[in-house]
C-alpha cells in the first residue's frame, strides 16, 4: 500500500473534532499517516501541540495565525508564537497569509500579521504554510521580499490561475492540491493546471473536513471530508498528470517528508 501524508487537516475547531481517534485510525488504515494538523490561531496551535503529544509520529502540527484571526494579533503574539514553535511537534509556521475574500480582519492588519510570521519563520529557519484567497497581488509582493530567506514555503489549497501558478513556481513555492480538483463545477481550471506543477513542488492534502471530492463514487454518506480520502485525491491527480498512481503517491510522500523535515523520522 502506498504511503501518504495529508499536509493540511483541520482536526480542531471543526466537524472532525468529536471523532479524532477514529479519524486518525481510519486514515492510517488507508496509508495516510502522519497527518499535519493546522493551527489557525495561537490557542488552537497550543491545543494542536497537546493533541500531537497524544499521537506521536501520527500527528504533527503547525503554529500560526490565519488571516481570519489577524485582528487578534498583539504585542505579545510573536513571543507566544515563537514559544509554540519550539515544540518538537510543530513542523511549520502557519497557517498564515492573506484572505481578501471574506475580510474577517482588516487588510492592513492581515498584511502586518503575515509579515510578522514570515519574519519568524526566517528567524527560526522553519518552513511556512500559507493561505491566499483573492489577494494574489499583495500576497506575492510581500512574499517576493521574504522568500529568499525562507527554508521552505507552501501555499496550501492552491486554486489559482495559470499565471499565478507560474509566479508561485518562480518563487520556488510548494503547492498543495486538494479535492477541489475533483469538482466538476469549480475545479476544472485547476484540473487543467495540475499537470504543469513540477514533480518536486506538488503536495497533496484534504483540507478536511472541507472540500469533499465531489467525484467520489459511491458518494460518502457524510458531507465531511476526511484524511482517509487522500488516496482517492492522489489517484485522481495522478490520472490528470498521466502518471502511475503509486509512483505519484511516493513522490508526494517524499516531497512532504523533505518539506516538513520529517525525513529522519519517517524515512
Which residue ranges form the domains of the chain, and what is each CATH number?
A: 4-266 (3.20.20.140)
* Percentage of the chain lying above the pLDDT 90 cut: 90
Q: Can you list the residues of the chain whose pLDDT is less than 70?
A: 264-267
* Predicted local confidence at residue 94, as pLDDT: 96
- How many whole angstroms separate alpha carbon 155 and alpha carbon 178? 12
C-alpha distances out from residue 218 to 175, 176, 222, 263, Å: 28, 25, 12, 35
* Predicted local confidence at residue 263, as pLDDT: 84
* Predicted local confidence at residue 266, as pLDDT: 64
**28 Rama class: left (phi>0) / alpha (psi -120 to 50) / beta:** alpha
C-alpha distances out from residue 97 to 80, 132, 234, Å: 18, 6, 25
Compute φ and ψ for 34, nearest 5 degrees. -80, 175
Strand-by-strand arrangement of the 202-204 sheet: 4-9, 32-37, 59-63, 90-99, 128-133, 153-155, 174-177, 202-204
C-alpha cell, 60 = 504533527
**172 Rama class: left (phi>0) / alpha (psi -120 to 50) / beta:** left
Amino acid at each position: 500500500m502506498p504511503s501518504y501524508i495529508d499536509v493540511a487537516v483541520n482536526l480542531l475547531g471543526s466537524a472532525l473534532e468529536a471523532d479524532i481517534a477514529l479519524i486518525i485510525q481510519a486514515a492510517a488504515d488507508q496509508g495516510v499517516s502522519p497527518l499535519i494538523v493546522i493551527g489557525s490561531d495561537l490557542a488552537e496551535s497550543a491545543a494542536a501541540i497537546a493533541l500531537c503529544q497524544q499521537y506521536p509520529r501520527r500527528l504533527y502540527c503547525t503554529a500560526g495565525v490565519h488571516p481570519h484571526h489577524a485582528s487578534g494579533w498583539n504585542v505579545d503574539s510573536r513571543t507566544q508564537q515563537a514559544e509554540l514553535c519550539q515544540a518538537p511537534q510543530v513542523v511549520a509556521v502557519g497557517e498564515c497569509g492573506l484572505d481578501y475574500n471574506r475580510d474577517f480582519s482588516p487588510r492592513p492588519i492581515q498584511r502586518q500579521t503575515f509579515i510578522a510570521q514570515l519574519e519568524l519563520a526566517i528567524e527560526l529557519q522553519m518552513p511556512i504554510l500559507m493561505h491566499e484567497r483573492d489577494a494574489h497581488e499583495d500576497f506575492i509582493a510581500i512574499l517576493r521580499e521574504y522568500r529568499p530567506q525562507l527554508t521552505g514555503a507552501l501555499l496550501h489549497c492552491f486554486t489559482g490561475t495559470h499565471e499565478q501558478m507560474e509566479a508561485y513556481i518562480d518563487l520556488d513555492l510548494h503547492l498543495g492540491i486538494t479535492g477541489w480538483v475533483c469538482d466538476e463545477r469549480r475545479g476544472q481550471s485547476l484540473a487543467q493546471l495540475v499537470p504543469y506543477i513540477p514533480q518536486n513542488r506538488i503536495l497533496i492534502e484534504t483540507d478536511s473536513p472541507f472540500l469533499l471530492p465531489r467525484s467520489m463514487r459511491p458518494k460518502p454518506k457524510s458531507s465531511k471530508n476526511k484524511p482517509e480520502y487522500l488516496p482517492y485525491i492522489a489517484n485522481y491527480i495522478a490520472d490528470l498528470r498521466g502518471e502511475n498512481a503509486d509512483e505519484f503517491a511516493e513522490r508526494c510522500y517524499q516531497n512532504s517528508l523533505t518539506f516538513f523535515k520529517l525525513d529522519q523520522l519517517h524515512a
